[in-house]
Structure 1
Amino acid sequence: MSWQPELDELRAREAMAKAMGGPEKVARQHAGGRLTVRERIDAMLDAHSFHEIGAIAGKASYGPDGRLLEFTPSNCVMGRGRVDGRPVVIVGDDFTVRGGSADATIREKPIMAERMAAELRLPIIRIIEGSGGGGSVKTIETTGRANLPGGVGGTWLYHHTGDNLSRVPVVALGLGSVAGLGAARLAASHFSVMTKETSAMFVAGPPVVNALGNNLSKAELGGWEIQCKAGAVDHAVDSEEEAFEAARRFLSYLPGSVFELPRRLPSEDDAMRSDESWLSVIPRSLRTPYRARAVMEGLMDRGSVFEMGRYFGRSVITAFARLDGMPVAVIAGDPMFYAGSWTADACAKIIRFVDLAETFHLPVVHLMDCPGFMIGLEAEQRATIRWGVRAMAAINQCTVPWCTVVLRNAFGVAGAIHQPAGRYTMRYAWPSARWGSLPLEGGIEAAYRADLDAAKDRAATLAEIETRLQQLRSPLRTAEAFWAEEIIDPRQTRRLLCEFSALAERVLEPGQRSHGMRP
């Protein structure tokens, strides 16, 4: 006698699970411009690679004869699959079942997904839509008690959500309304993405916030512009398909876990490539900015630059890229914003990005252009110097190979932390580089006040002093004393950076770092 009847019942239950919240809820999801969780998983993973775990977990009701009458699946769908041939763990919220709220899930499923990623050393992709916390207010009535956050043994999800940041790549896609624990899971990632028209993220949504006297829509409270500018979310795209593509690109630069090394890919770009425009890309006029992204994209392998956090801490650009096929983490000052000065937000951005590079063994390239920390009342109110010394600590504590190219400005304390202290790093400077304790502009009048006050022609004396100091400030004078190792022809830069990537690859070591990464 075979077990076919049991297999038939299994297939029937699996079909019920794949129906999710039913045709009406699925239609409502599509009408809102959003895919269902199962469509999202299929679109994110390589074709036919998804192996689901716990498909028939949920709530069932039975007739007097013990036969299944109704089945509502858990609104957490999880399992393993592949992205570009590499194994990953994926876990997604099903908004068609109780709006993705945890009172309709089985909490062991997301916990198992996080644990599986940690112990199998696999990247994890979280597809988030809903609250994912302790349920709704109505849960008090349906369960007959109030939920103590975390409960007894319920903190495992919180533990793995943070701990996995030090072990495996974590990608989080916010593809609808995300609140409470869902928002925490979105933020607690190495790379987070929102869809511009269909997603929002908040600690508590408009109904709760507006009860306090506000009148805010979802977009006004937690739309992509709010969250990306605040730095809570890294990236925003126009469609879910673009979100999946961004996730795939992000993962392509990282190893599967901290116990592996980044993969060098074949490169069709010439490591010896040069460009005449690099010789004149930095304007002689100090008041004239330039497009740092164009410089970065020119120096790196063509088409390889993948920027993170574009709308946050905008005086600094952070991006993954490749040099002769080798993944690197790139930091660049952006003179289009505050002349490249490091604001409190820029420092927070640097800290997180340097920690990310350290965690996953990515060599760092710093295209330096920073006239110092941002100054003024707002800078003091934002505790810029505290964020600055935290950035200093992150840079000094990192151990991955580091190469700095000073393009223009390097002044003050911020200028001093353009590379890690206490160990060997590579450093080059372009002829356009200028450095010191503080820029001459504004500093001359303070330092030479007595001479200027005594001068018959103050303007002429000021111009004479400035001309004299500008000659002394030449980077060639600094290199003469070996205070700067090499002043290079900008057209040599890509060749030297590709050499750096090859040398760096030889000394990279896998393993978990002593200080774990935090969100």
Structure 2
Amino acid sequence: MSQKQGKPADRLNAIANHLDPTKKDEALEKSEWKDMIDQINWRKNNNRTANPNDHGYIRQKAQGKLWVRERIDEFVDKKSFLEFGSIAGKAKYNPDGSVKEYTPANFIAGKATVNNRSIIIAADDFSIRGGHADGSVYGKSIMAEQTARNLKIPLVRLIDGSSGGGSVTTMLDTGYTYIPPLKGMHTIIGSLSEIPVATASLGPAVGLGAARATLAHFSVVAEDIGSLFAAGPPVVANATFETVTKKSLGGALLHTSNGTFDNLAKNEQDCFNQIRQFLSYLPNNAYELPPIDTTTKDPIDRRDDALLDIIPRRRQRPYQVRDIITRVVDEGTWFEIGSRWGDGAVCGLAKVGGLPIGIITFDGSLQGNVLTSNSCHKFRRHIDLCDTFGLPIIDFADYAGFAIGIKAEREATIRYGSTLTAALYQSDVPYFTVILRKVFGVAGAAFVDNRDPNWRVAWPSTDSGSLPLEGGIYAAYRRELDAAGDKRNELYENLLSKFEAVRSPIRTAEAFDIPEMIDPRDTRPVLCEWVKLVYENVLPHRVAQRKTHGPRIPYRP
């Protein structure tokens, strides 16, 4: 439903048509429960109908935002939403028991389908009390989380507000303050090891709302209306004396460049599209196989001639690794996660032969293929995602090693690198490496030598060893080079030429350190065959084992 279609008048007409007064429910008219059912229906209709004169609703529309029920209608399959807590709200009563004042709950939850798959959807209504946890929100939020985990189906949160405690004015109503609780957090954290969780920030995500926005496997923010911060500008001004706006404090561009959010979206509809696509690669839960696309028409034996020269012969020249990915995977299935952060780390999901996979690689045009603390952290998160939901990992390897120097040491690069290495070795999801160019040192080894056996093939552009040859020559022959004086460069070039022949990957393959050298055009057929084999022979046993023993390692957000 578009904003135009979702105008209050249209919604009132829809309700009027549904409750056609000319069609009397004779059975209800005769029922002794008629008065109770009338009250239930009145509350349901009140909750589901926008009040065009309400200042919160007016503010929502003035900011260019969809109303909460319009969002649900836009995201889920038509007529699939089954709400729970449909009459929840706050009521004040007259002495005779009639309703004096009624405010709907500002949190909507229920079961729905997206692309014919069942999900639980939970959405904040910022138009009522800024999304604070009054008006029956607390219990509804917890039930949404618990229901998704219990039914073993994905959970989608549409964040717009604090989604947590009330404002300080609540103390005046209750007459006391309280020790802040985190009820339901065990479920929120536990769900990450069992079911896919995706969030969209469609307004300010503050406090617990910020936590709920980021405690997920995939988070996306609408550039035009989304933001996130631990506390808003007024609280920041009082605590740190900083004068900030929502955008400068926690705008969408800021938080997609530091990894707080995974992806940036143009608007709300783009958020919905990205979540739909993300979920299309994942199973309903960690105890099922990922969904197989039987409609793909991309031939598994397709060979793309452009792959032959996509990596330049001269090693110093960059190339675009995403061009390799899109030419190898099923057409139109590459879905990148976290493209705006990670210092060159490239992570995403795709399909080969209709089978979902996870992909990790490196954009050497940005960082020279050295791993920073940020890139290590990004890789680790993606490996954990694939391991949790049984997505075979394809590694297009081009890693020159961990970053070195003062900045790298200050950023604890080796600590983050060790955590990444642990994640690679702890995960037991099938893993296949296509060596594109550089594989050096501990970092390179961690990416290509973490399984028994190590399934890997190499392109002719492969360049590997304990450290890059150029720097290694300077280290090994430093005394001779320093003594060469004016002939230093000539000596260096002579030494380099002696090593050129032995650095050929063909010699490495002759020693069977590379199981197979391939023509780059054969990459897709090789991967399609391997992924098919693991889906048929490995993943079913892995799923069966998880049903019995559960995930070996809890998901770490």
Question: Does 1:58 find its partner at 2:89?
Answer: yes
- Residue 139 of structure 1: CA displacement? 1.8
Is contact 1:397–1:420 with CA below 8 Å preserved after alignment? no
Whether the 8 Å contact between 2:105 and 2:134 is mirrored in structure 1 is no
User: Which of the residues 170, 179, 184 maps onto 1:139?
Assistant: 170
Tell me what 2:509 maps to: 479
The equivalent residue for 1:290 is: 319
Which residue in 1 is equivalent to 2:527?
A: 497
Partner Cα separation in structure 2 for residue 52 and residue 263 of structure 1: 26
Counterpart residue number, 1:364:
393
- Between the aligned residues of both structures, percent identity stands at 41
For 1:90-115, what per-residue CA distance to the aligned partner results, in whole angstroms no more than 9, with x for missing partners? Answer: 11111111010113443111100000
Q: Measure how far apart 1:388 and its partner are.
A: 0.4
1:160 to 184, 187, 191: 187
The aligned residue for residue 203 of structure 1 is 230
Deviations 1:443-502 (A, max 9, x none): 212211233344473222211100111211111111111112111111111100101110
State yes or no: 1:243 paired with 2:281.
no
Verify: 1:71 aligned to 2:71, yes or no: no
Partner amino acid, structure 1, of 2:302: R
Moved over 3 A (4+): 19-23, 103-106, 453-456
Superposed counterparts of 1:6-405, under 5 Å: 6-19=36-49, 23-24=53-54, 25-150=56-181, 155-211=182-238, 212-266=240-294, 267-405=296-434
Native 8 Å contact 1:404 1:419 kept in 2: yes
- Is 135-144 or 359-368 further displaced after alignment? 135-144
2:228 aligns to what SS in structure 1?
Answer: strand
| SS of 2:202 mapped into structure 1 | strand
Question: Which residue identity is paired with 1:11?
Answer: N
Distance 1:343 1:264 in 2: 35
1:464 to 465, 471, 494: 494
Flag structure 1 segments of 5+ consecutive residues without an equivalent.
none
SS of corresponding position for 2:448? coil
Aligned-pair distance for 1:31? Answer: 1.2
Q: Deviations over 1:26-67 (max 9, x none)?
A: 222111010111111111100000000001111111112111
Q: Which amino acid aligns with 1:482?
A: F
What is the CA-CA distance between 1:13 and the residue it aligns to?
0.9
1:514 aligns with 2:552: yes
Aligned partner of residue 164 in structure 2, secondary structure: coil
- Provide the C-alpha distance between the structure 1 equivalents of 2:168 and 2:479, rounded to a whole number of angstroms: 71
Aligned residue identity for 1:257? N
| Cα offset, 1:216, TM superposition | 1.2
- Report the Cα distance in structure 2 between the residues aligned to 1:422 and 1:410, rounded to whole angstroms: 16
Whole-angstrom distance in 2 between the partners of 1:292 and 1:422: 24
Say if 1:80 and 1:88, in contact at 8 Å, map to a contact too: yes
Please report how far the alpha carbon of residue 226 of structure 1 lies from its aligned counterpart in structure 2 after TM superposition.
1.2
Local SS of the residue matching 2:439 = strand
**Structure 1 length normalisation: TM-score?**
0.97
Query: Is the contact made by 2:431 and 2:451 (CA closer than 8 Å) also made in structure 1?
Result: no
Q: Secondary structure at the match of 2:516?
A: coil
How far is 1:357 from its partner? 0.3
Give the whole-Å Cα distance in 2 for the aligned partners of 1:62 and 1:139.
20
- Which residue pairs with 2:24 in the alignment? none
Q: Equivalent residue of 1:504, what SS?
A: helix
Aligned position for 1:488: 518
Q: Which moved more, 1:190-199 or 1:284-293?
A: 284-293
Deviations 1:256-312 (A, max 9, x none): 011111011021101111111111111122221111111111110010000001111
Local SS of the residue matching 1:220:
helix
Q: Partners of 2:352 and 2:491 in 1: how far apart? A: 48
Q: Is the 8 A contact 2:88 2:135 kept in 1?
A: no
Inter-partner Cα distance in structure 1 for 2:356 and 2:349: 7
Count of equivalent residues? 515
> Does structure 2 conserve the Cα–Cα contact (< 8 Å) formed by 1:395 and 1:420?
no
**Alpha-carbon distance in 2 for matches of 1:64, 1:463:** 97
| 2:199 maps to amino acid | A
* Higher relative contact order (Cα pairs below 8 Å, separated by 6+ residues): 1
Mark the CA change 1:303 to 1:411 in structure 2 (over 3 Å): closer, same or farther. Answer: same
Q: Identify which of 427, 438, 445 aligns with 2:467.
A: 438
Alignment root-mean-square deviation, CA: 1.4
Deviations 1:300-352 (A, max 9, x none): 00100000011110311001000000000000111121112111011111111
CA distance in 1, matches of 2:196, 2:325: 24
Correspondence for 2:443 among 399, 411, 414: 414
**Contact map agreement 1:194 1:200 (CA 8 A) in 2:** yes
Name the CA distance, whole Å, in 1 between partners of 2:451 and 2:37: 65
Take 1:106 and 1:236, find their aligned partners in 2: how far apart are those partners? 28
Residues in 1 aligned to 2:455 and 2:53: alpha-carbon distance in whole angstroms? 60
Contact 1:20 1:73 in 2 (8 A): no
